[in-house]
Every structure is written in structure tokens, then in C-alpha cells.
Structure 1
Amino acid sequence: METIADILLVAGALGAGFYCFILARRLSRFNDLESGMGGAVAVLSAQVDDLTRTLQAAQGTASASTESLEALTDRAEGVAKRLELMVASMHDLQEETPPSPPETSPVGPIFRRRDERGAA
């Protein structure tokens, strides 16, 4: 009975060893940097680094654009205030009437009527 238990124990140990050998080979292929999951992880890590650098550059550009836009907005507000003052001052001016053209007779200025020349 002990020999049967020893034989089963040795068979189980050999089966477990063979199973571990198979798992080790699969794990080495899984972590292979060329074609396995290790390569995919390395590629994804490089892409994350590239995206992080790109994001930082985009944030720098966005902050510079924001500062420029704020400066332009402040300048536009100043110009709008000056224009409002100019328009308000234009309302305060009196409208000047254009001079009326001199009245002329259809005949011409040489031939005036008697009452326009005065009594002679």
C-alpha cells in the first residue's frame, strides 16, 4: 500500500513538474519583447510617454493662447469704451445746417427786377 502511495506521489510530482514546465514556456512566450505581451506593453508605454509630452506641449500652447486672447480682449474693451465716449460726445454736438445755395432767377443775376434793384 505504501508503494502504491509512493508511485502515485511520484506521478503527481512529475505531472506537476511537467505542468510547471509548460506554464514557464507559455509565460516566456507571453513576455517576449518581440511578439508577445511584453512587446505590446513596451509599445504602449512608449506611446503613453509620447502622449504625455504632446499633452504638455498642447497645454503650454493653450496657456500662451489664453494669455494672448486675454490681452486682445482687454485692448478691445478699452477701444470699445473710447468709441462709446466718442459716440456720446457726438450726440452732444449741435447739428450744423448746411448753408443754403444763393437764390438766383432763371434769367440770371444781371437782369433783376426793378424792385430788387431798388428805387432809381
Structure 2
Amino acid sequence: MELIADILLVAGALGAGFYCYILSRRLSRFNDLETGVGGAVAVLSVQVDDLTKTLEAAQNTAGASGAALETLTERAETVAKHLELMVASMHDLPAAAPKASEQKTPLGPIFRRHDATGASQ
């Protein structure tokens, strides 16, 4: 009886050892840096670093654009205030008298003399 138990124990130990060997090979292929998941993780890590740098550059550009836009907005508000003052001061000016060339003169009938030949004088 003890012999059968020892044989089963050795068989179980050999089976567990073989199972561990197979798992070790699969795990080494899984973590391979060129073809396995390890390579994919390495590539994704590099891509994350690149995206982080790109995001920082975009944030810096957006900050600079925001500052420039704020400066332009302030200038536009200042110019708008000046224009409002100019328009308001235009209402205080007296109405300009029309120029002599723009004044309409009522024209009456025009008479011309003609000599005997028919030429006007």
C-alpha cells in the first residue's frame, strides 16, 4: 500500500513539475520584449511619453495664444471706447451749412437771343 502511495506521489510531483515547466515557457514568451506583451507595453510606454510631450506643447501654445488674445481684446475695448467718445462728440457739433455748390437754386426759364443767322449770343 505504501508503494502505491509513493508511486502516486512521485507521479503527481512529476506532473506538477512538467506543468510548471510549460507555464515558465509561456510566461517567458509572454514577457518577451520583441514579440510578446512586454514589447507592446514598451511601445505603449513610448507612445504615452510622446503624447505627454505633445500635450505639454499644446498647453503652452494655448496659454500663449490666450495671452495674445487677451491683449488684443484689451486693445479692441480701448479703441471701442475712443470710437464711442468720438461718436458722442459728433452729436454735439452743429449741423454744417451746405456748400454753395451743393445749394440748389431754383432755375427759371432761360431765354437766349438769336441773331438772324441763328447763332446764339
TM range (shorter): 0.7 to 0.9
Q: How far apart in 1 are the matches of 2:14 and 2:77? A: 85
Once the two structures are superposed, residues 44-66 of structure 1 have per-residue CA deviations (whole angstroms, 9 ceiling, x without a partner) of 00000000000000000000000
2:42 is the alignment partner of 1:21: no
Pairing of 1:1-120 with structure 2 (within 5 A): 1-100=1-100, 101=103, 106=110
Counterparts in 2 of 1:60 and 1:22: CA distance versus 1, 3 Å = same
TM-score by length of structure 2 reads: 0.83
Q: What is the identity, as a one-letter code, of the residue corresponding to 2:12? A: G
Once the two structures are superposed, residues 13-48 of structure 1 have per-residue CA deviations (whole angstroms, 9 ceiling, x without a partner) of 110000000000000000011110000000000000
Q: Alignment identity in percent? A: 71
**Can you give the 5+ residue segments of structure 2 that lack an aligned partner in the other structure?**
113-121
Q: How far apart in 1 are the matches of 2:28 and 2:72? A: 60
TM-score by length of structure 1 reads: 0.83
Q: How far apart in 2 are the matches of 1:80 and 1:41? A: 57
Counterparts in 2 of 1:25 and 1:102: CA distance versus 1, 3 Å = closer
**Can you give the 5+ residue segments of structure 1 that lack an aligned partner in the other structure?**
109-120
Residue 115 of structure 1 is matched in structure 2 by none
Q: What is the identity, as a one-letter code, of the residue corresponding to 2:96? A: E
